[in-house]
Structure 1
Amino acid sequence: MSDLDLVFGGRVFCDLVLSGVRAPVPGAEVFADGFTLTPGGTATRAVAGARLGFRTALVGATGADELGAVVRSALAREDGLDLTWLAEVPGARTAVTVALTSADERSFVTYEERATWLPDALPRPLPAVGACHVGLAEGVPPWVAGLRSRGTFVVGGVGWDETGAWDPAVLDRLAGVDAFVPNEDEARAYTRTPDAVHALDALARRTGVVVVTRGADGAVALDAGTGERCDVPAPRVRAVDPTGAGDCFVAAFCAGRTAGWSLRTAVSFAVLAASVSVQRLGGASAAPSRAELLTALAWHREHDSLPAADWHLVQDHLSA
């Protein structure tokens, strides 16, 4: 087995994304102006990583059902994406999410089964891995800890807590990762702080690198080891659907760190990738290619709308 640049482990969904619509009030019906069926969840991050030109693997599971076949077929068409560690679980149904989206708002309805959650053990070992992203909701699996002990840069994430508890004990798991990338709502809820900057400082006391995404406002980041801090604004674009933008951000950030770029450059690259993804409908289907990012990079350079970063390193990679 050859080495991998990126590994993404977590729950894999089949997403039905309906655009131009808000959640209806009880008893009402609303009509969307478009829809797409696409792999979602961790699959979005994996597709985004592969499209960025990094050797990428997806660790997760689908059911052995019709929706699982749809997800697997779509993922198999992605160059550079290794599905060796994507399990197919007999008797289980693939997790599904219906996303109702407008340019600035999202609502979700999800069904999933425990059988398709991230496995604690792998059917075969992974090779050397540059960076691995995993959700922290159920803890850091032993195989991720094994990767980290061999030098893999491990990035943790969290999702929406439907219970509303936002148990701070989840943050104890940050000791098992090298970086943490929540969105602003998640960061504020877990730290009980008023804004992204205060949350950033609180989280940096628990792990080495923290990046808090802020949607249309970009992202803030802090490296607790070096003291480097950055506030990266997002370029202004016409947003169509924010579904999967955070996943594209995570993939690009992991890729940038694997490539050895500075914190500011990796975060700036991630913000750019997310800004391209929101301009079309879907999760994994909206993940940008290297050519699309090169086009966006050239446009923002021409209009002087890029934050300070080592963009020549980004351009060299995207052009390779």
Structure 2
Amino acid sequence: MNKETMAACALPVLVIGSLNMDLVVTVCQLPQQGETVFGRNFATFPGGKGANQAVAAAKLGARVTMVGCVGQDNFAAELLESLRLAGVETSQVRSVTGKTTGVALITVADKGVNTIVVVAGANQECNPGDVQAALAKTKNPGIVLLQNEVPPATVEYAIRTAGEQGWKVIYNPAPARTVDAGILGLVDILTPNETELAALTGMPVRSQQEAVAAGKKLLQTGVKQIIVTMGAAGALLIAERMVKAVPAIQVQAVDSTAAGDCYTGAVAAGLAEGQPLETALHFAAVAAGLSVTREGAQSALPSKDAVEKYMRKKVKMYEKKWRAE
């Protein structure tokens, strides 16, 4: 089966979430209240957790449609172009009159210390009607991917409605906020990091042991599987009868921006292709690891070819070592 046939057979991925333009200034030190400092560099990067995850999944071979809102400004055009270049379908991104496109104002000092101010803008206009229209347009259910950068009512509607229509729901509960247990119980796969898991459970999450304890508490809500992303420590898959650690790959990290988004998008892409969950997690670990070796958010997200090349290289290394032994 060639790549084109495999792509046609894969499940569709519907990403419902935010589109932001990141405005990044680097400085020697963060300014104190009332202080003015000189910046060193300024750059703009397409971002937003929803858009990042959509681009990640598309670059990794998934058929992705983005659902969200932008304003009527230059940032909107740049964000849509970034999505299209990655192969994401953008017909379900709605342009909102009178609203600005979402932005994140990021000041980064030495050693990566930063301050971030997010102006949601048009992202706040993404509503259940947008979700309903996108679901209705897709004939066969696939995977719905959600985060917390659009209104809670929209997220909850999408989880309920998509599940009722036979979609597999992957929910990345970021940024952290409390979520009704009844909603969590409708989720197929939950992908929090340590901070988000702590926010959902009210339990400390400072180690793998604590992550397992908190994850098992969340299973009581009815969520089927939990993937806790822990950065360089890898990830934990927590299910009713299984706890499995999936290590991160060893790389020289340059910029961890969007690594978590890459991981979640990669899991969705792997499952959409028909990979078993554990295989998809190893696939995601490689994708996220490669993403931190480059600067930026969407621009740093790796292609499927890059991930598969890395995996083939590792297989050959293990085979060579095994034969030598």
TM more than 0.5: yes
Q: Which residue of 1 aligns with 2:55?
A: 47
Q: Which residue of 2 aligns with 1:192?
A: 202
Residue identity opposite 2:116 in structure 1: F
Conserved in 2, the CA contact under 8 Å of 1:97 and 1:109?
yes
Pick from 143, 146, 166: which aligns with 1:134?
146
Residue identity opposite 1:243 in structure 2: T
Pair 1:255 & 2:269 matched: yes
Pair 1:181 & 2:191 matched: yes
Query: CA 1:132 to 1:103, structure 2 compared with 1: closer, same or farther past 3 Å?
Result: farther
Structure 2 unaligned regions, length at least 5:
1-7, 206-210, 319-325
Give the structure-2-normalised TM-score.
0.81
Q: Which residue of 2 aligns with 1:6?
A: 13
Q: Which residue of 2 aligns with 1:15?
A: 22
SS state at 1:242 partner: coil
Residue identity opposite 1:298 in structure 2: R
Tell me how far apart the structure 1 counterparts of residues 11 and 72 of structure 2 sit (CA, whole Å).
Answer: 27
More helix by share: 2
Pick from 274, 278, 283: which aligns with 2:297?
283
Q: Which residue of 2 aligns with 1:159?
A: 174
What is the aligned residue count? 296
Q: Which residue of 1 aligns with 2:102?
A: 95
Query: CA 1:24 to 1:68, structure 2 compared with 1: closer, same or farther past 3 Å?
Result: same
Query: CA 1:296 to 1:29, structure 2 compared with 1: closer, same or farther past 3 Å?
Result: farther
Query: What CA RMSD, in Å, does the superposition of the two structures yield over aligned residues?
Result: 2.8
What is the 5 A alignment of 1:72-87? 72-79=80-87, 81-87=88-94
The Cα of 1:286 is off from its aligned counterpart by 1.4
Tell me how far apart the structure 1 counterparts of residues 254 and 40 of structure 2 sit (CA, whole Å).
Answer: 13
SS state at 1:176 partner: coil
The Cα of 1:210 is off from its aligned counterpart by 0.5
The Cα of 1:277 is off from its aligned counterpart by 0.9
Superposed CA offset, 1:80-137 (max 9, x none): x111111111111000013345776654221123664432113452312321111256
Tell me how far apart the structure 1 counterparts of residues 171 and 304 of structure 2 sit (CA, whole Å).
Answer: 25
Pick from 30, 51, 64: which aligns with 2:72?
64
SS state at 1:159 partner: coil
After TM superposition, the structure 1 stretch with the greater mean CA deviation from structure 2, 40-49 or 99-108, is: 99-108
Residue identity opposite 2:236 in structure 1: V
The Cα of 1:47 is off from its aligned counterpart by 0.7
Tell me how far apart the structure 2 counterparts of residues 68 and 17 of structure 1 sit (CA, whole Å).
Answer: 17
Superposed CA offset, 1:291-310 (max 9, x none): 22123223444555xxxxxx
Superposed CA offset, 1:203-243 (max 9, x none): 2222001111001111101122xx13211111121111111
Query: CA 1:229 to 1:30, structure 2 compared with 1: closer, same or farther past 3 Å?
Result: farther
Pair 1:150 & 2:165 matched: yes
Residue identity opposite 1:214 in structure 2: M
Residue identity opposite 2:143 in structure 1: A
Query: CA 1:118 to 1:22, structure 2 compared with 1: closer, same or farther past 3 Å?
Result: farther
The Cα of 1:143 is off from its aligned counterpart by 4.8
Tell me how far apart the structure 2 counterparts of residues 179 and 86 of structure 1 sit (CA, whole Å).
Answer: 25
Query: CA 1:200 to 1:22, structure 2 compared with 1: closer, same or farther past 3 Å?
Result: farther
Conserved in 1, the CA contact under 8 Å of 2:100 and 2:122?
no
Superposed CA offset, 1:238-268 (max 9, x none): 1111111111111111122233333322222
SS state at 2:48 partner: strand
After TM superposition, the structure 1 stretch with the greater mean CA deviation from structure 2, 114-123 or 6-15, is: 114-123
Superposed CA offset, 1:17-62 (max 9, x none): 4569774444263645674422332111111111111111000010
Q: Which residue of 1 aligns with 2:217?
A: 202
Tell me how far apart the structure 2 counterparts of residues 67 and 256 of structure 1 sit (CA, whole Å).
Answer: 30
Pick from 189, 193, 213: which aligns with 2:229?
213
Conserved in 1, the CA contact under 8 Å of 2:71 and 2:121?
no
Query: CA 1:130 to 1:158, structure 2 compared with 1: closer, same or farther past 3 Å?
Result: same
After TM superposition, the structure 1 stretch with the greater mean CA deviation from structure 2, 181-190 or 98-107, is: 98-107
Query: CA 1:234 to 1:250, structure 2 compared with 1: closer, same or farther past 3 Å?
Result: same
Structure 1 unaligned regions, length at least 5:
305-320
Query: CA 1:282 to 1:21, structure 2 compared with 1: closer, same or farther past 3 Å?
Result: farther
Q: Which residue of 2 aligns with 1:316?
A: none
Tell me how far apart the structure 2 counterparts of residues 190 and 25 of structure 1 sit (CA, whole Å).
Answer: 32
Tell me how far apart the structure 2 counterparts of residues 213 and 301 of structure 1 sit (CA, whole Å).
Answer: 24
Larger-gyration structure (1/2): 2
Q: Which residue of 1 aligns with 2:323?
A: none
